[in-house]
Structure 1
Amino acid sequence: MQDRFIIENGTLVSFKGEEHSVIIPEGVKVIGKEVFRGMAWITDVTLPEGLVGIEDSAFKGCRQLKSIGFPTSLKSIGELAFHRCHSLEEVILPEAVTSLGKGTFLYCDGLETIIAPGAKKLGTQAFANCTHLRSITLNSRIDCSNFKNDVFTGCLGIKEISLSDGYSYHTDNLINALISDGEVHPVVRAAAESLYRSIEIEDGVLFKLHVDLRTFELPEGIKAVGKGCFLDKKGIVSITFPESLERIGSNAFGNCISLEQITLKDPHVTVEEGAFRGCSSLKRVVIGDRIYTLGGIDCAGGTPRIIRQISDQLISDFYISGKVLMSYTGSEERVTVPEGVEVIGESCFEGNERLDRVLLPDSVREIHENAFRNCICMQSVVMPEGLRAIRRSAFENCRKLIRFNVPAGLEEVGFAAFRGCVSLETEGFETGTPAAVRVPDRVYGENDIPAYRYCFDGSFTELVPDKPGIIGKYAFSVCPELRSVVINAPGCIVEKYAFEKCGSLKKIKVTAGRIEKGAFSFCRELEEAEIDGVTELEEEVFAGCSSLKKIRLPEGLSRIGRRCFDECTSLPGFDFSGIRHIGERAFERCDSLKEVRLIKAEVGYHAFADCAGLETILLDGETRLQSGAFFGCTFADRVVFCGTEYPFSEFAQSRNTAGSLLPVRVQEVIGSVYSCFEVSRRNSIVRYKGDASKVRIPEDIVSAGDEAFRDRLRVEDIRFPAGFSRSGRMTFSGTGWLERKRREAEFTVVNGLLIDAAGCGEKAVIDGSISRICSWAFAGNTRIKELVLRSSRTAADCFAFRNCINLKTVTCADGKTYTLESCTDLTEKDYPETVRRIFSECINCFKLEGEGVLTESTGNIKELVFPEGIKEIAPQVYMDCNLLESIVLSKDTKIIGKCAFKNSKWLRRVGNAEGVERIDALAFSGCKSLESISLSDALEDLGKRAFEHCCELKEIHISNKLTVIPERAFFRCKSLKRVFIPASVKEIGTQAFAFCSELEEVIFEDRDGVSIAEDAFAWCDKL
C-alpha cells in the first residue's frame, strides 16, 4: 500500500494510487506541489495529524473531491491548492492557518461553507467564483484591504459573514451592505465590494458580467438583465434568476452555447427578442417545481408563454412554417435541425459554403428540391430512418459529401439528387443523369396523320379530320393560318407538339383517347378549348397559351401534367373538383386565376407559382402540397382550410411563433406564398426570388435591401405596405415596375421615399412630401446640374447622388445656395454636412492623392467631366474602360499618365485638353474610336506609342514645344489625312506614322532641321 505514496524527507511528492478514498500515511508533514493534481476520481481525503503544509496546486482539478478533514497542526495552504474542486462542500480550517494563497479555492462552485477563524489575510481570487458559497467565518483582525483583488468575485450567494470575535452579519442579498444607510462592518462592506466588482448594476438592471462562471445565481433586487449582458459567455451552464426579475433584454444570453438550464421564480418575466438566440444547448427551463423541456418546434397545450417564447428564440436561425423548414439563416458549421420538422424545404441550405455536418431529427420525412445543393463543404448528413423521399437535386454538387446513411424507409430518390457528389459512394439509387433510352418510332396507319406531315403548311384555316387513329408529332406545328380544330375520334392519340405554335388558332374541340406533351403549346391566340374523352392532360399541353380564357374538360379527368397550363395568363378560373393530381408547375404564372379550390389533391412542386392574381386558396385536410405550391402568389390574402377562413397579410404569419394560433397546414400555405421572399430578422426583404407580374409586399415588411428585386424584368406592379420606410441600393433596378415608373414621371416615390430619379433633368426640386432620398436614387445621372431641397427634414441615404458629376449647385431649405467648382472645395469651403456629403458623392468617381493626382476613377459613365483641381491622371486609370465615350478634362489637368486610356475602345472625344503639358507612353493606345483630342501648344512631352491604333483620329495638333515625336506615336492612325510638323520638332522616331493609310500631306515648318527615321512614314501609301 505504501508503494503508492512517494515520500521524501516527510514530503509527499507523488501518489500512484487509483482509489476514491485516500488516507495519507502518518509522518507526512507536507503535501507537495501538484501531487494529486487532476485526479478527478478522488472523492475524499484523510490528512494525518502532524501535517503542517499543503503546497501549490496540490489538489487542483480534483473535481469529485467532496470531503477533506484538515488537522489542527496545519499552518499553510499554497496557491491554487484546491482550484476547481467542484464537489467540495465544506472547509473547516484550524486557527493555525493565518493566510490563504492566491486562488486557493478558486472555482470551487460547490463550496457552501468556509470556516477559517485564524485567517488574517486572503490572497487574490482566494474564493473567486465559488457561486454556491453561503457562509464564511474569518478572523476579526483580517486585513480586508486587498478584497478588491477579486477575493470574492462571483460569490453572489453569500448570506452570512462571521468573525472570530463573535460578530455576525446575515442578509438575503449582500448587495444590501453597499446600499444600506446604516453602519456596516468594514469586513462586510469590503466583501460586498469585492463580490460586486464582477457585475455592473444600475437601478436594478444588470448590465455586465465580467466573469464566465459555470453556474450562476443572480441575487434578489435585480429587476432586469440588460441587453447583451451575458453575450458570448460560453462557459455558463446554468443560471438561476431571482423573484425580483421582471425583464430579460435582447441578446442578453446570445451565443451562450453551453447554457443548458435556466431557473425562474416567476413565469411572468418579459423576454425580449433574441434574448436566448444561439443558446443551442439550452434544454430545460425550471419554473417553480415544473421542468419544461426545450428543443423542438412543438409546445404542449398549456405551456406558459415564456416557454414558447424561449423555444422560438432557440430556433430563431431556422425559418419554419408549420412543419416545413423553409430556410436556415445561421452561420454554424454543424447544424442540428429542430425536432418536429417534417420537411426540409426547397433550397433551404442551398449554397451554404460554411456547412460541414447536418443532423436531421427523427421527425423528418422529406427532403425537397435543391435543399442542400452546392453545399460544397458539407461532409456528412445523418438521416432519420423514417425518411421517405429525397427530391430532385437535393444534394447536387455536394462535392465533399462522404457519409450518407440510406434509411430503411426511403421510397423515392429524385432526378440528380446526388449528381456531382464525387466523394460519395452510392449503391442502389441514381446519383446523376439517367442514360438515354431510345423510343422506337411509331408506325402510322392509313387513317393516321404522320409526324411532321403538314408542319409549316399555310393552306389550312380549319381542320376537321376524318376520325384519325393518330395525329403524329408536329403534324400541324406552326401552321400560320389555322384558326380552328375539331377532332371527334374517341380513340385518337394526339402526339406531342402536334399543333404547337399555331399562331392564329383560336378555338379547338377535341374528343380523343390521349393528348400528349405540348400538343397545343404556345398557340398564343387560342381563346377557347373543349376537351373530352381523356382522363389525363399530359405535360405542357396548353403551356404558353396566353390568350386562353375558356376551357371545358371531361368529368373523368383526374390528372394534370407538368406545366400543362404554364403561362396561361388569361385563364380566369378552373374547376379542380375532380382533379386528384396536379403536376409540377402545372398552373405557373396563370395571372388571371382568382381562386383555387382543392379536394383530396396531390399538388406538385410550384404548381401555382407566381399566379399574380390569385386571392383565395381553399383546401381540405386530405390535400397534400409539395414545395412552393403557391410560391410567389403574393396577392393571395385568404386560406380556407376545412371550411374555416384564415385571412393573412403578414410575413410573420408564416412562421412558427409563440403567439401563432393558425393551423399548421395554413401556416405552410402562407409559407409557400411568401417563400419567394428572403427576409431578415429585421423584417427587411433581402432578396425576391419570384417571377410574378405583380408583387404585394407583406404588411409587416419595413424595407428592402440592396438589389433585392434587381433584374426581375417580369415584375410590372409592386404594392407596398404603409410601413415600408427604407429602400437600399439599386433595390428595384431592372424591374418592369421601375421602367414603367420612369416613363410616367421623373421621380419614383413610395411612402415619401424617393427611390429613383434617373430620369430627372437638369434641375431637381425635392419638396417636403419626400422624407428620404434613397441610396442610388440619382446615381449616375449626368444631366442634373442643380438640386433644391425644400425641407430640412428630408434625409438622404449614402450614395444617393453617386457620380452625379455635373451637379454643381445645391440650394437648402433656408434658401442658402452652395456651389462646387473644384475638388479642393470639399476641404476648403464651409458646407453644411448634408451638402458636403452630396458634393462628395457627386465626385465620388474621382479618387485623388497628393497634389491633385487622379489615381482611381470609374469608367462606367459614358460622358465624364472633370471638376477643377485634377492636375494629373495617373497610369492606367481608365485602361480597358468599356463604357467611356467622352471626357472633358479640367483646365488644371497637365499630365496624362502611362496607359491612362489604353484600350478604352469606345472613347470618341477628349475635350478641354489645351492645358495638357505631358502625355506619357501608351496613354491612348488602342482607343480605336477616338476621333478628336483638343491639344494645344502647351504640350511639351509625348510618350512612345501614345496614340497608336487610334484608327478614327482625323486630326492632331503637334505642339510647337515638342522636340521629339517618338516611335509609333501615331502608328496605324488610319484616318489622319494631314499633319503639320512645327520647327520645334527635331526628331521623328521609328514608325511614328507608319500604316497611316489615309495620310496625304505632311507639312514641315523646317524640314532640314528634322531627323526622320527611315520607316517613320512606312506604308503611308497616299503620301
Structure 2
Amino acid sequence: MKRILSLAITIIMITLLFPTLNVMAWETSGDFEYIVYENGLYSGTHIVKYTGTAEVLVIPDIIDGHTVTGIGHPLYTSQSIYEKNETLKSVTISNGITHIWNGALGGCKNLTSINIPDSVAHIGVAAFRDCPKLKSITIPRGVIELGKTHFPENNSYYVYNNNLFAGCTNLTEIIVAVDNAYYTSDEQGILYNKDKTRLILCPPGKSGAVNIPVGVVEIFDEAFRDCVDLSEITLSKGVKRISRSAFEKCANLTKMIIPDGVESIDTDAFVGCTGLIDINIPGSVKSIGSYAFRNLANLKTVVMQYGVKSIEHSVFNGCTGLTSVDIPDSVESIGSYAFKDCVSLTSLIIPDSVTGIVGMCVFENCTGLTDVRMSDNVTEIGYQWFSGCSNLKSINIPKSTTEIGQSAFYNCASLNSIDIPDSVTKIVSGAFAGCSSLTAVNMPDSVEYIGLNAFDGCSNLETLHISNNADRILDYTFTGCTSLTSANIPGSVARVGYEAFFGCVNLETVIFNNPNTIIEETEYIRPAIPGGGANDPPVSEKVFHPTFDGCDNLKTIYGYYGSTAEIFANNQEKNFIPIVKVQLNEVDLSFDVPPQLINDRTMVPMRKIFEALGADVDWNGETQTVVAVKNDITISLQIGSSILIKNDEIINLDVPAQLVNSHTLVPTRAVAENLGATVEWDENTQTVSINY
C-alpha cells in the first residue's frame, strides 16, 4: 500500500513539474523495475531498480519489448538501482543504452568490474559512488558527458560535480578509449579533457606522488577529492586555476608546491588536507577563495607573495597550528572569519594596502595573538573582529577609523591600553566589554555615540574621559567597572541609562555638567511579552535597575543648583556639591574636574585656566610648583602656599592652590586678574565671567 501511494505521489509530482512528460508505466520484469516515458526530454525506458542476488549481472537492452535507453531514474538525484547490494561483483551494460543517470550504479560494496558499451553517451553525477572494490574502469568512445562536465565543439564547458567515484577507495585507474572525442587519460590513470588542458579527476585510490603534466591549465572541481593516500602533488607551471574542492580531504598530502602562474585558488580548494605544514602562495594568485585552507590544524606557516589581492571568507579559519602569516602589501581586502580560531598566531601585520576588511569575526578567538599592526587605511574595526583574543596586549587603531564595531574587542582580557584616534565617531555596543586589563580610556571629543555595554566588565578601568560630544550614555555602558572611582558626565549627555554604572563598587564621585541630564533612579520592569497562542508562553519580564545600582561607595554628586543632579543627590541622600560655571569671553569652559567653591573662592584646574588665558604652563612635581608665562608676565604658585608670585611681586591669597582628586586647583580671580583679565561673579547663576 505504501509503495502504491509513493508511486502515485511520484507520478503526480513529475506531471506537475514536467508537464511535457507522459509517464506510460512503472513496471516490474523479473529482478528489474523500470519506468517508461513516452515523450519529452527523458523519452525512453529506464531501468530504475535491480532486486536480484546474482554475482554477475547483464543489464538488458530490451525489457518487455521496450528498448532500454537509460539506467537509473532521470529525475531522482543519486538513486542507485542496487543500493547496498553485497553479492554483485560484475556488471555488463548492453549495447544500445545511452544514459547512466546520477548515482545509478553506486553503492555496490563488492563490485569489481563494470563494462560500459560504446553506445553510452552520458554518465551522471556520482554514477559509481561507494564501490570500494572497484579498481579500474574504462570510459568508452561514445561518452560525451561525465558527471556534468561537457565540452562542446566551441570548447566552452560547464561543471556541476566531478566526483563520479566518491567512496571508490581502491580505484587507481581510469582508462579512456583513445578514439573518444571529448576525454582522455594518461599513464597515471588520471582523467582529462581531450586536449589535456583540464584535469578532471584523479582516481581516489591513487597513492604516493602524482605529477600533473605540462599543458594543464585548470584543476577541475573535486578533481583530487578523497585521494587520502596521496602524499605529494606536483603542479606544472602552466596551471592557472585550482577550482572548488580540487584537493579536498587529501588528508596525507604533505607537500604541495603552487607554481607561479596560478591565478585563482577557489572555494574549499584544500579543505581537509590536514597533513600540510606550510604553504607558499605565489603573487600570480589574485584571489584566495572562501574556506580554501579551513581547519588545517597542522598548517604552521603561510607565505603570500606580492600580487595577492584578496583573502576571502574563512580562508584560514580554524588553522589552530598556524604561527606565521606574511600578508603582502598588495592585499586589498580580507573577508569574514578569515583567521578565526587561529589560536597559535602570535602577531600580525596588516599592510596599508588593505582598505577593506569585509564582514565579521575576522580574527575572533585568536587566543595566542599578542600584537596587531593595523592598516592605516581601514575605516572600521568591525563586528567581533578581535573578540576573544584573550592575550592581545596592543593594537593601533588607525587614524582613518571612524567606527569601532559591536564587540570588536570583546573579552580581550590582556588589552591594557587603547589609543582611540580623533577620527572615531562611534563606539558600538560591547566594543570593549570584558577588557578586564584596560586601565584608562581617553575618548576623543569626535565620539558622538557610545553603545550598550561598550565598556561592560572593564574591571581595572581607573581613568575615564568621556567625549564632550557624546549625546547619551546607554544602558550597561560601564557596568562592572569596579576600579572606577570617579566619572565626569559631559554637558552633551542628555541621558544616563539603566545600569549604566551598575556594580561600580568603588565609584565615589560623579560630576554632571548638564543641568538637565536624565538619571534613572528607579528600576523599570518590562511587562512580559504575550505569546502567540495557548501553547506559546509569554516572554519573561525583565528588570532594568537604576543607573548607579550597586555603587555602594558613591558619596558625592557634583552638579548645578536646581539641576537633575541635585534632585538625584537629595533623593539618594548623597553629598551634593554645586558646580560653578566659568565663562571666558562669554564662552563656557569645560573641565575634567569641575570648578568648586572653597571658602567662597572659585577654584579651577590650573592647566586649563592658564592655557585658556594664553599662558604656557610648566609643572614641577618635586616642589609641587606651577609656573605660567604669558608675554612678559610670569606667575608661580605652590601647592598649599597662600602666596602667588608675579614676576618679583609677592601677592597674598585667601585660598591656596591645592590638590583635589589628584588635580591642582587654583583661585580663578587671582590667576585671571594677574594675567590682565577682568573677573565678575554672578551669585544668582553661580557664574564666573572672565574677559580679556
Same-fold status (TM-score > 0.5): no
Q: Under TM normalisation by the shorter chain, which class is it?
A: 0.3 to 0.5
Greater C-alpha Rg: 1
TM-score, normalised to structure 1's length? 0.31
Q: Which has the higher contact order (CA 8 A, sep 6+)?
A: 2
Structure richer in strand, relative to its length: 2
Q: What TM-score does the superposition give when structure 2 sets the normalisation length?
A: 0.42
